[in-house]
A and B are shown apart, each in its own frame.
Chain A
Amino acid sequence: MEASRETLPSAVLEQLMVGYQQADAVATTALIEELSPQLYHFFAAQLGNREDAADMLQEAWLRIHRVRHTYRAGEPLLPWVYAIARCVRVDSYRKRSRIAVREVAVEVLPEPAVASDARGVLPSFDQLIADLPASQREVLTLLKVNGLSLEEVAGATSSSVGSVKQKAHRAYERLRSLLQSPTAGKDSTI
């Protein structure tokens, strides 16, 4: 169920974080470069909009910078980082919802064509998970895109490992049923 993480080992990341707390510019740069792509993919996979994902990444780093003293050396870093990222995403969603209520749509723009799998049959990851409930989409993104372990996802989402497993299982079941439907790969809504 877990994907291999394409980042440095946790212990190295934790050392970089301690360096960041001590104002070590080299460690800070290394940490930002290491975590930013993963955070960006976390936001992009859930929003489907790359410009918004980049904005949220920037907001996430501002928030991390502001609360960097709340990390304690020796504790797992990734759940701490993703808990902040989740909070940024939720705050941003609320903010957008407030703005959306005030905006009046004048015209419905056509949806851009969705990139399909290289074989031209299977939908992309973003398409696949778009139809999942938010909590399942989040867990699946953290597990499959960010490569976090079940324990790390549980830490980041302030829930239990059992709850994470259950959400992942339900997400898999739902994906399977979506892929088996006759419109899979053709209809952009899945």
Chain B
Amino acid sequence: MNARELEQMLSSRQLPPFPQERLKRMEAAVIADLKPVRPLAPDGAYLAGLAAIFVAVCAMGAYFVGPQGWQALSVLRKIAVFLPLTAATALLVFSLVRQMRPAAKHARSSALLSAALFILLLLLIATFFQAAHETAFVRSGLVCFRTGMKFAIPAAFLFALLLHRGAALSPALTGAAAGGLAGLAGLAVLEIHCPNFNVYHIVVWHVAVTLACVAAGLVFSSVTFRRWTSNH
């Protein structure tokens, strides 16, 4: 069988008859609930909104808890930490903007690339920071974790407020990405603030803020979506 015959065969398909009575019922249900809706704002508005929240949270962190970490970091370490952090943040913002409406491209791939950059950040931290003995590893770590979460939670709330009208198709991905973005804001605040350069402290307690936010975003969005689908 050649390509033309195959094409002809596929085109002469027999489609099943469409159930007209169900169509009428669906039409009636949709018409009964018909209200005007405001279309989503342009991508640029969401991009600017997400970026503004992120920068504002970092600035507030530097203002309220102090930039001791930033002041103590060498130029090389600043580049090693803040360059991949900024790139991962930018990609996550881009991914979230693309997730706002169905059929937008690169939503998933940019989120995956952002996760890859986050792993690169961990590798760079492991390379550029050394291990040091700490007498109060857990106590000082918990202080940092709480400080990071103090900024990540309001950021997550503001991101959710901005994103709640869109992102209806992949709630788990959107929740994880929004949580990740809030976690990156918390991590950025800690990197600006914390002068403890023990590699274990950074990898365990600073990074835990991001991971906790990703997990919380994933769980929250999944539960919310399940409730949403069961109510409709």
Interface residues of A in 1-43 (CB under 8 A from B): 1, 3, 21-23, 25, 28-29, 32-33, 36-37, 40-41
A36 contacts B104, CB within 8 Å?
no
Q: How far is the CA of A179 from the CA of B6 in the complex (A)?
A: 9
Cα-based distance from A57 to B35 in the complex (angstroms): 21
Query: With A21-B39, A33-B27 in contact, do A115 and B14 touch (Cβ < 8 Å)?
Result: yes
Residues of B contacting A62 in the complex (Cβ-Cβ under 8 angstroms): 232
With A25-B34, A65-B33, A83-B102 known to touch, is A72 a contact of B15 (CB < 8 Å)? Answer: no
Chain B's closest residue to A82 (CB) is: B103
Q: Which of A65, A84, A172 has the most CB of B within 10 A?
A: A65
Residues of B near A22 (CB, < 8 A) are: 36
Interchain nearest-CB distance for A165 vs B (Å): 14
Task: Specify which of B6, B19, B35, B100 is in contact with A172 (CB 8 Å cutoff).
Answer: B6
Which has the most chain B C-beta neighbours within 10 Å: A40, A145, A154? Answer: A40
Please indicate the chain B residues that have their CB under 8 angstroms from the CB of A172 in the complex: 3, 6
**Shortest Cβ distance from B103 into chain A, in angstroms?**
4
- Chain B residues in 8 Å Cβ range of A53: 16
Q: Pick the contact of B18 from A40, A83, A122, A124 — CB < 8 Å?
A: A40
Interface range, A side = 35 or more
Tell me the bound Cα distance from A116 to B170 in angstroms: 39
Q: Is the interface of A mostly helix, strand, loop or mixed?
A: helix
Chain A proximity mask over B6-27: 1 for CB below 8 Å, otherwise 0? 1101110111101100110011
B16–A79 touching, CB < 8 Å: no
Interfacial chain B residues near A65, Cβ < 8 Å:
30, 33
Complex Cα–Cα for A41 and B18 (A): 8
Q: Are B13 and A158 in contact (CB under 8 A)?
A: no
Write out, one digit per residue, whether chain A residues 125-163 have a CB within 8 A of any chain B CB (1) or not (0): 100100000000000100011000000001110111000
Q: How far is the CB of A150 from chain B (nearest CB, A)?
A: 14
**Which 7 pairs show the lowest CB-CB distances between chains A and B?**
A125-B13, A83-B102, A83-B103, A79-B103, A69-B37, A67-B168, A70-B101
A contacts, CB < 8 Å to B:
1, 3, 21-23, 25, 28-29, 32-33, 36-37, 40-41, 44, 50, 53-54, 57-58, 61-63, 65-73, 76, 79-80, 82-84, 87, 91, 115, 117, 122, 124-125, 128, 140, 144-145, 154-156, 158-160, 172, 175-176, 179-180
